[in-house]
Structure 1
């Protein structure tokens, strides 16, 4: 019995240490103010206890100064050991032990309830569906520790209800295996999904596609089977007239590879080599959720980004643009395969298919960037305006959140810059980004205008967690590591509905959110 309790205590200690270790990991992004805990913690030398009082960040008076005082978020420093030691020094072992004892006590009560419940259940099916005692114990402990960490589990539910709900949570792969996302594989469709797919096919089958009707259908999500052609139409890459599509595709694809022949050899020229070098460095740093970046995929991304930069000298290549290729590339790969992208060897596709995917991704990304290019010109004025508008909007729709961040001197630019620069791609799983872009493609000025209201809804979505943080460090760690790993279609649909409500209330009445 004592040995069993010791094992439980070790398990609880592991769960207790885990959030502390994960909270000091580096946050990966592109041109956003990286959070450095050492700037906001006063360490007392000489073996005395570290003071965890929040520090005051240095304020930048200009955007150029703001950029100069922030380091590249991809650079991993050598202070990991010091941070780990700092975390260990500040652990309160009494709190750890008290938490462990509470979990053991709760677990014992849970076991008693389970035994009574199992005796009442007579159905063989229900008996076989129950997880093993060991797995129940681990999941129960995980759930209790999650409650202490402030996760989204409901502590008001009974322990038995929580324990039973855990096995139902799907294990989600890197890209998407969820049936409601329609972004990978071919799962069995529900009657509603089949009906929606039929409506899309009817609209697409006509000699001239009704783009307005297509937008209405697409706002609530696009079935995987018709997403490639729908994205091409809604982005303006393909014409509505069916007879003109084949010739347009042929011409645009030839035009893109003409750019390759004309410009790509200049990547090693003196005035272009810095651009190409930065692209070459950034692609392997992309989010691991995006793709397993195989050598062939890396080559394709390098060509797309370099050609775009050469043809848009006003902005050139800026970190963050590299992320915007991924959703198009993944969606257009699905046009040629049935399996999941993460397990698929892209080089096994026929050469013509790869060339088509590359050219289509380039042109659709270009169409997207045409509407938000001021996000990437010198000093990135588009992003500055959007971050300021976000701050004003949040101050009106949730004054408590706004004042809370003011109280602890959290600047919106410190976390929302990345939201605007990467269109929330660093905050959401790729399956959610693809679903989000279905609506952005359908919404007028979706990427340039509606995105602001999505960001506002996204921030307010975490108001409870934000208000629970009582220092600058905790707020920045939360805002740069929001727990969206298990998000899917339902969460994105709710987010979009709230964003639409905010747009309806404020978009045509900007004075409503001005001070």
Structure 2
């Protein structure tokens, strides 16, 4: 049953069933239909219990820095999308992130986590919005609906972070390891690109840290991230292992542009501002297909295996 769902979701989920599908794929909703309403009600109540229990402590001395950092980061999340400039929406994000941080003292809040709420929030909001979600007035929804979207976003983001938590602990070892793995992978897939980076003295950390920390969200339009996450949630270890191959495919996609940049400055400028603004489902679909091919070819291949 859930295998079937994963198989169908891999190549993109239709907008109207995305909210329920994402809740199922992230393990938040039980597959058993009879239990769903009960579980949702219980989890939503639990989240608002956390709010009552913890949210007033955001001004306490030991939590003040966490809250301040979140408060500074929220306006920087998707600065070009009007939805996220609404005070009401920013407060939702502040609550979600603060509660998550308090409940995960090992990592606490790290910049980058703020981006991970966005796709869930937009997917769950789109259940109630016919037209353009990015310009929607959150305040026009009934309070109950607002609260449900908030709680569901919190739980689904938490489930996602459970799988990549070492990306956000002190010194972010998970990200260091993944960037290293990307470098090793690219050196095997496309030696020209790899050598070109060395020649220009560009290090993978200088551009790929952000690719891992924000799951490519800063490189793609939001609609593309949401489509990408359909596949990430359907793929086992989608947000960790498969993401690596997506990053490799993404990098190689720009090989012509990369090889035409002949110095450190222009190469880094290119890599930090890749021209994806007009991307849609088609481009993401091609990227995922290429990532899948790379994974199949290189995942367990010995290091000496070259194209």
What TM-score results when the alignment is normalised by the length of structure 1? 0.58
Following the alignment from structure 2 to structure 1, what is the Cα–Cα distance between the partners of residues 90 and 290? 37
Which of these residues, 269, 288, 301, is aligned with residue 496 of structure 1? Answer: 288
1:115-514 paired onto structure 2 within 5 Å: 210-290=1-81, 291-509=83-301, 511-512=303-304
Following the alignment from structure 1 to structure 2, what is the Cα–Cα distance between the partners of residues 509 and 211? 29
Following the alignment from structure 2 to structure 1, what is the Cα–Cα distance between the partners of residues 229 and 59? 35
Residue 355 of structure 1 and its aligned partner are, at CA, apart by: 0.4
Following the alignment from structure 1 to structure 2, what is the Cα–Cα distance between the partners of residues 513 and 280? 48
Residue 326 of structure 1 and its aligned partner are, at CA, apart by: 0.5
Following the alignment from structure 2 to structure 1, what is the Cα–Cα distance between the partners of residues 77 and 129? 23
| 3-state SS in 1 of match to 2:288 | helix
Residue 369 of structure 1 and its aligned partner are, at CA, apart by: 0.3
Following the alignment from structure 2 to structure 1, what is the Cα–Cα distance between the partners of residues 244 and 269? 22
- Contact 1:427–1:484 (Cα < 8 Å) also in 2: yes
- Contact 1:238–1:245 (Cα < 8 Å) also in 2: yes
Following the alignment from structure 2 to structure 1, what is the Cα–Cα distance between the partners of residues 141 and 86? 13
- Contact 2:196–2:259 (Cα < 8 Å) also in 1: yes
| 3-state SS in 2 of match to 1:486 | coil
User: If each structure's helix is expressed as a fraction of its own residues, which one has the higher value?
Assistant: 2
Residue 342 of structure 1 and its aligned partner are, at CA, apart by: 2.1
- Contact 2:164–2:240 (Cα < 8 Å) also in 1: yes
What runs of 5+ residues in structure 2 fail to find an aligned partner?
none
- Count of aligned pairs between the two proteins: 305
Residue 289 of structure 1 and its aligned partner are, at CA, apart by: 4.1
Distance change in 2, residues 1:271/1:333 (3 Å): same
Following the alignment from structure 2 to structure 1, what is the Cα–Cα distance between the partners of residues 217 and 230? 14
Following the alignment from structure 1 to structure 2, what is the Cα–Cα distance between the partners of residues 322 and 464? 33
| 3-state SS in 2 of match to 1:272 | helix
Residue 448 of structure 1 and its aligned partner are, at CA, apart by: 1.0
Structure showing greater relative contact order (alpha-carbon pairs closer than 8 Å, 6 or more residues apart): 2
Residue 344 of structure 1 and its aligned partner are, at CA, apart by: 1.4
CA deviation map 1:294-347 (0-9, x unaligned): 011011000000000000001000000001000000000011121211221101
- Contact 2:75–2:84 (Cα < 8 Å) also in 1: no
CA deviation map 1:61-99 (0-9, x unaligned): xxxxxxxxxxxxxxxxxxxxxxxxxxxxxxxxxxxxxxx
Residue 414 of structure 1 and its aligned partner are, at CA, apart by: 0.4
CA deviation map 1:367-419 (0-9, x unaligned): 00000000000110000000000000000100000000100100000000000
Following the alignment from structure 1 to structure 2, what is the Cα–Cα distance between the partners of residues 507 and 367? 25
- Contact 2:113–2:214 (Cα < 8 Å) also in 1: yes
Following the alignment from structure 1 to structure 2, what is the Cα–Cα distance between the partners of residues 479 and 363? 33
- Contact 1:506–1:512 (Cα < 8 Å) also in 2: no
- Contact 1:279–1:306 (Cα < 8 Å) also in 2: yes
Following the alignment from structure 1 to structure 2, what is the Cα–Cα distance between the partners of residues 217 and 416? 30
Following the alignment from structure 1 to structure 2, what is the Cα–Cα distance between the partners of residues 313 and 483? 38
Greater Cα shift, 503-512 or 210-219: 503-512
- Contact 1:393–1:513 (Cα < 8 Å) also in 2: no
| 3-state SS in 1 of match to 2:228 | helix
Following the alignment from structure 1 to structure 2, what is the Cα–Cα distance between the partners of residues 468 and 334? 41
**Greater C-alpha radius of gyration:** 1
- Contact 2:84–2:90 (Cα < 8 Å) also in 1: no
Structure 1 segments of 4 or more deviating over 4 A? Answer: none
Residue 513 of structure 1 and its aligned partner are, at CA, apart by: 6.8
What TM-score results when the alignment is normalised by the length of structure 2? 0.97
Distance change in 2, residues 1:244/1:377 (3 Å): same
